[in-house]
């Protein structure tokens, strides 16, 4: 089989986003996917959070998702809804969009980008040395690559074969989840540690706690009927299941995101209870953090040590999600003391500052990579402002459509010179008269220049001089070329 620069194991949300990012950066990539089509084996994510919507906007594809999803206030902590319509972002909402539709739209995009997918086969293992990785596939063939990325979900074969420890906590609770037809329509609403509600095409969606947290057998229609009888005393004549699956609150994170030429992202790097609906979102954002860095390492623009920043930046984000989902599980307990604690948290979340703090975390808008001391923008997401340029009004996000870094010069036109990086970094002279506002932090001082990485995070902030700019350009985008 032909070699590729990068092999991605797993064509779920993370794998597809990573493949798109690499392709936009000019890297030759192939996806190996176990499923024969993008159809899902079970219902999973029900939507997207604000930062994921922003990330899709940065690539110019958000309209495809907005056209099929329904924008709404989806943020919740331990079931307590939180409104973000006052947040300083163009997308001050979430989006209801089932994962099956998200994956279908993503699959359409990566097909347009010409990304090959080897479907109906699995990555079964690999060997690696200083020059590359030899990836073994379930059809008996193998494919060579410079890097292998495990985007192969929570049970990641790649992570296990790389010997990366998946540290954390065993499940305490197991849920059965299904979409079925029913003879009798039940009352929709929360119960049994989950709930019953309408699903697509007249089916009924059921999510209920099962008594045993560590079941490993495949769930059956009988298991679902038994769960319904436990909570409602009847199975409503459930039949013709479209999906039946289980999930748990197992909470684990890869202790390392890289082992030599092998990296992990998405659920392969972190699993947790689905409370708050964050898993798909942070997987997509892992991919956007890793893609451009890996592309630069593959092309020789940057040293392999740039990949260490992927773990340094994304591991803490994953750890925070593990922590907040564990907290949400604890707040969901029904004993009197837990209920009292939850009531106290609800009181706090009605106050402005706590709401902003927690809602920004769930929405992914508060991520601040530790790039050292400096202006509050440093390491945070660049706001999508309308800039005045010689070509008219330009949105910041539109400058990121090609996944290329951009230096915005907001001072005197022609005041910054980045000629040695001109082949990699766009320089845009612009002005912006409005205020600078960040989620949670509020208004911040206006910078005179901003260096924005392809993932939309700010790598350097100008204060009237170019002090530190060369170092930042070298750190993030490689040595100068004269």
Ligand X SMILES: Cc1cc2nc3c(=O)[nH]c(=O)nc-3n(C[C@H](O)[C@H](O)[C@H](O)COP(=O)(O)OP(=O)(O)OC[C@H]3O[C@@H](n4cnc5c(N)ncnc54)[C@H](O)[C@@H]3O)c2cc1C
Binding region for ligand X (CB under 6 A) = 9-15, 32-35, 44-47, 99, 122-123, 151-153, 157, 177, 247, 266-267, 274, 277-281, 283
Do the Cβ atoms of 355 and 40 come closer than 8 Å? no
Do the Cβ atoms of 452 and 396 come closer than 8 Å? yes
Task: Between 54 and 429, name the residue whose CB sits nearer to ligand X.
Answer: 54
Task: Between 25 and 273, name the residue whose CB sits nearer to ligand X.
Answer: 273
Rounded to the nearest whole angstrom, what is the least distance from the CB of residue 10 to ligand X in the complex?
3
Task: Between 175 and 369, name the residue whose CB sits nearer to ligand X.
Answer: 175
Task: Between 249 and 466, name the residue whose CB sits nearer to ligand X.
Answer: 249
Pairing of strands 47-48, 80-81: unpaired
User: How far from 140 is each of 36, 120, 126, 452, CA to CA, in Å?
Assistant: 17, 13, 12, 44
Q: Where are the alpha helices (DSSP H) in 33-98?
A: 50-58, 62-68
Task: Between 250 and 416, name the residue whose CB sits nearer to ligand X.
Answer: 250
Do the Cβ atoms of 56 and 50 come closer than 8 Å? no
Rounded to the nearest whole angstrom, what is the least distance from the CB of residue 300 to ligand X in the complex?
28
What does the alpha-carbon distance between residue 160 and residue 469 come to, in Å, rounded to a whole number?
Answer: 40
Q: Which helix (H) or strand (E) holds 375?
A: none
What does the alpha-carbon distance between residue 249 and residue 271 come to, in Å, rounded to a whole number?
Answer: 8
Rounded to the nearest whole angstrom, what is the least distance from the CB of residue 267 to ligand X in the complex?
4
Helix 279-299 and helix 13-24: axis angle, to 10°? 30
Task: Between 157 and 307, name the residue whose CB sits nearer to ligand X.
Answer: 157
Rounded to the nearest whole angstrom, what is the least distance from the CB of residue 398 to ligand X in the complex?
26
Pairing of strands 270-271, 426-429: unpaired
Rounded to the nearest whole angstrom, what is the least distance from the CB of residue 290 to ligand X in the complex?
12
Report which DSSP code applies to 307: G
Rounded to the nearest whole angstrom, what is the least distance from the CB of residue 318 to ligand X in the complex?
11
């Amino acid at each position: 089989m032909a070699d590729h620069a990068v092999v991605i194991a797993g064509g779920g949300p993370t794998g597809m986003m990573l493949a798109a990012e690499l392709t936009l950066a000019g890297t030759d990539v192939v996806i190996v996917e176990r499923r024969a089509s993008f159809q899902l084996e079970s219902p999973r994510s029900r939507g997207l959070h604000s930062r994921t919507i922003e990330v899709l906007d940065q690539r110019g594809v958000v309209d495809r998702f907005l056209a099929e999803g329904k924008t709404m206030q989806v943020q919740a902590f331990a079931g307590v809804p939180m409104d973000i319509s006052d947040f300083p972002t163009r997308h001050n909402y979430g989006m209801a969009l089932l994962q099956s539709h998200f994956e279908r739209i993503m699959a359409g995009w990566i097909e347009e980008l010409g990304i090959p997918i080897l479907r109906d086969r699995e990555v079964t293992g690999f060997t690696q040395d200083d020059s590359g990785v030899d990836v073994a596939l379930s059809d008996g063939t193998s494919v060579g690559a410079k890097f292998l990325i495990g985007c192969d979900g929570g049970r990641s074969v790649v992570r296990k074969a790389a010997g990366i420890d998946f540290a954390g906590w065993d499940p305490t609770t197991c849920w059965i989840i299904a979409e079925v037809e029913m003879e009798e329509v039940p009352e929709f609403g929360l119960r049994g540690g989950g709930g019953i509600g309408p699903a697509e095409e007249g089916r009924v969606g059921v999510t209920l706690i099962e008594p045993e947290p560590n079941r490993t057998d495949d769930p059956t229609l009988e298991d679902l009927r038994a769960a319904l009888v436990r909570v409602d005393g009847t199975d409503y004549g459930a039949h013709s299941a479209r999906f039946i699956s289980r999930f748990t609150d197992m909470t684990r994170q890869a202790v390392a995101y890289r082992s030599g030429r092998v990296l992990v992202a998405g659920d392969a790097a972190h699993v947790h209870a689905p409370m708050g609906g964050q898993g798909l979102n942070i997987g997509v954002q892992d991919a956007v953090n890793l893609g451009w860095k890996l592309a630069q390492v593959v092309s020789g623009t940057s040293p392999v040590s740039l990949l260490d920043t992927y773990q340094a930046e994304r591991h803490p984000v994953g750890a925070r999600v593990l922590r907040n989902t564990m907290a949400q599980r604890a707040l969901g307990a029904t004993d009197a003391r837990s209920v009292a604690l939850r009531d106290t948290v609800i009181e706090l979340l009605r106050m402005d500052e706590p709401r902003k703090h927690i809602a920004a975390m769930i929405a992914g808008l508060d991520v601040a990579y530790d790039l050292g001391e400096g202006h509050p923008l440093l390491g945070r997401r660049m706001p999508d402002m309308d800039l005045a340029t010689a070509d008219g009004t330009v949105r910041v996000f539109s400058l990121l459509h090609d996944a290329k870094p951009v230096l915005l010069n907001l001072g005197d036109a022609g005041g910054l010179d980045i000629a040695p990086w001109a082949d990699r970094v766009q320089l845009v002279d612009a002005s912006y008269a409005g205020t600078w506002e960040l989620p949670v932090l509020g208004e911040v001082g206006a910078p005179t220049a901003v260096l924005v990485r392809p993932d939309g995070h700010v790598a350097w902030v100008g204060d009237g001089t170019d002090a530190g700019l060369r170092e930042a350009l070298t750190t993030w985008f490689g040595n100068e070329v004269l």
